[in-house]
Amino acid sequence: MCGIVAYTGPQDCAPILVEGLRRLEYRGYDSAGLAVHTGRGVEIVRAVGKLTNLDQALRKTPLAGTTGIGHTRWATHGRPSEANAHPHVAGAVAVVHNGIIENHVDLRRELQGKGVRFSSDTDTEIFAHLIHAEMQSGIKELDVAVRRALARVRGAYAIAVVHGEQPGTVVVAKQDSPLVLGLGEGEMFAASDIPALLAHTRDVILLADGDMAKITTAGAAITRIADGAPVSRDKKRIDWSPTQAEKGGYKHFMLKEIHEQPRAIEDTLRGRIDLDKADVVGAEIGLTEEIAKATGRVYFVACGTSAHAAMAGRYWVEQLARLPSTVEIGSEVRYRDPVFLPTDLVVAVSQSGETADTLAAVKAAKAQGARVLAVANVLDSAIPRAVDGALYTHAGPEIGVASTKCFTTQLAALLLLAVYLGRRRGTLNEAEARRILDAAWQAPAKMRDVLARADDIRTIARRHMRAKDMLFLGRGTGFPIALEGALKLKEISYIHAEGYAAGEMKHGPIALIDEEMPVVVICPKDAHYEKTFSNMQEAKAREGQIIAVATEGDDEVRRLCADRVDRGSIPPPSGRGSMLVAADVIEIPPVENEVVPLLSVIPLQLLSYHMADLKGTDVDQPRNLAKTVTVE
């Protein structure tokens, strides 16, 4: 996730671009840069680190001009460095990009074969060379060259392009990454998100996938990328305050990030699944065939939410790759005398890539000769730097302290890892792999269905917000989801909550259940349905207040939970919503077993969020917690 801005008009553009980038810094901040048409052609200034570094660089090398583009980067391909910072240049062409190009390896190879020399490790530079090659071949119009170049590219992008010989013109295009046009008086803007525009205009056009636009001071000519046909898009007036705009109109970053999950999963899977071959692309996930075959055990280390993702990863590795697997908490590994083997694949899961306890465990594993793979969200952070390979989640920066989109992207990444190991080791046949990968690829659409029920979940949250304690139960991969649901609730609402394996309830926690105790049961129609259903009946028999996460149309679960709502003081919601939640049942669409956790955690994230919000706690920055824990 990166931020792009563009301007053309009568004003000096560098300050406008930098201010726009400042409003987009939440999208990434490891480097930034501008390209401005200065009258001498397009000139660029870039700097590593936060925007203040770009400010300083611009003070040394001012860029004067009235048309330009800017970028703030969250690295995905190529470490954060000045060479990898955008804009990328080829001849007179300069490009900024947000997204991921899936066929970048093939295109880079092809261009290198034609003598092109790359000056960065990014996938973005490919755009610059492709557009430049089109212009060199005699194409005169920048938008035509961009359209022809885009026809070669597969993946997600929002791009803005300027050309040294075409002053006063910016060409933008989008596919699966956001891009908004801002309409001024005799000036035009474009940006990844609305906050970058609000200081200048409240009239915007949200471009659709497959749109491109040529913007000049006269306005925007919007066409389809595919065939150049003109399209018309409605203008919208934005009434949000700047703070609301930064959160995309949501009340909190956490809620925004919960809703970003489908996009984050798509970005994490993109380019890594080969559905034709029913396989995962090893080079994209930091592993090789040799390592997969030589692995005798998978040893996960992680903390907090990342440890819950690792637990789901263990189930998948055991089931799909038939490898012994274990999950250890970073802070425990470092103070034990752990035994690592040279045939261990240690998988360190950490969204920040900086967690001190996980890093210490990684060092212990390395010291004993184990091979270590990092699953991290922050490129080039301490853990990926310390290990042999990295599998990056592409969630983009997560601002809310309570992890949500980083968790689900970790799940997606670990499912890919398990499929890759299973395919290499011959324990997962082609048909099974295709079934799972196909289900993973379809999961974001189903997640959007669950998110559409968010308002109904607030009604349930209101009924239980005064609870002092809550239990979360699940089986199989539902167990780590139960742990994650309990952790989310504790973190942001300060309600005491415990997650348990559903089968463990009878060994103690059942003593806690009475009519005061809400019990959240993750009971989708998966391989463990009947057993989990029995556990729910047991809790119900002790008068527990059941909140069930169940598969759509499961009348058994609905009947079991129904009478509690009838007794509640708050009436069930009306209309479509009442069908969904009238019995404290939150439904998820039917999906293959392996992707159930991607869906079943969303109701728990939303339940925690709404309980916390109704109680009025500081959702994004809960007391006593830090986003990155670099101390013991």
Active site residues: 2, 627
Three-class SS of residue 494?
coil
CA R_g for the chain: 25
Q: Is 303 in the site for ligand M6R (CB under 6 A)?
A: yes
CA atoms within 13 A on the CB side of 499: 23
Enumerate residues 488-547 that contact ligand M6R by CB under 6 A. 491
Among 43-51, 64-72, 297-305, 438-446, the segment contacting ligand M6R (CB under 6 A): 297-305
Indicate which single residue of 54, 150, 581, 629 sits in contact with ligand M6R (rule: CB under 6 A). Answer: 629
Q: Is 456 in the site for ligand M6R (CB under 6 A)?
A: no
Indicate which single residue of 65, 78, 304, 544 sits in contact with ligand M6R (rule: CB under 6 A). Answer: 304
Site map 583..602 versus ligand M6R, x via CB under 6 A:
--------------------
Report whether 421 contacts 576 (CB < 8 A): no
Residue among 302, 253, 261, 311 at smallest CA distance from 603: 261
Three-class SS of residue 609?
helix
Among 35-43, 65-73, 137-145, 397-405, the segment contacting ligand M6R (CB under 6 A): 397-405
Indicate which single residue of 222, 269, 401, 598 sits in contact with ligand M6R (rule: CB under 6 A). Answer: 401
Q: Is 204 in the site for ligand M6R (CB under 6 A)?
A: no
- Is the CB of 352 or the CB of 477 nearer to ligand M6R? 352
524: preceding bond cis by omega (within 30 degrees): no
DSSP 61-76: S----SEEEEEEE--S
Three-class SS of residue 275?
coil
Bridge partners of 300?
A: 327, 347
What amino acid occupies position 500? Answer: Y
Closest approach, Cβ 66 to ligand M6R, in A, equals 43
- Is the CB of 124 or the CB of 331 nearer to ligand M6R? 331
Q: CA–CA distance from 624 to each of 462, 491, 492, 629 (Å)?
A: 25, 9, 11, 11
Q: Is 305 in the site for ligand M6R (CB under 6 A)?
A: yes
Residue among 531, 543, 470 at smallest CA distance from 502: 531
Residue among 517, 597, 616 at smallest CA distance from 564: 517
Residue closest to ligand M6R, measured at CB: 304
Closest approach, Cβ 400 to ligand M6R, in A, equals 8
Enumerate residues 608-627 that contact ligand M6R by CB under 6 A. 625
Compute the distance between CA of residue 368 and CA of residue 126 in angstroms, rounded to an integer. Answer: 41
Q: CA geometry: angle at 172 spanning 168 and 177, to 5°?
A: 155
- Is the CB of 16 or the CB of 348 nearer to ligand M6R? 348
Q: What's the sign of the alpha-carbon dihedral 278, 283, 286, 288? A: positive
Q: Is 351 in the site for ligand M6R (CB under 6 A)?
A: yes
Closest approach, Cβ 372 to ligand M6R, in A, equals 14
Q: Is 393 in the site for ligand M6R (CB under 6 A)?
A: no
Site map 402..431 versus ligand M6R, x via CB under 6 A:
xx----------------------------
Q: CA geometry: angle at 459 spanning 455 and 461, to 5°?
A: 105
How many residues touch ligand M6R (CB under 6 A)? 16
- Is the CB of 484 or the CB of 584 nearer to ligand M6R? 484
Binding site for ligand M6R (CB under 6 A): 303-306, 350-352, 355, 358, 401-403, 491, 625, 628-629
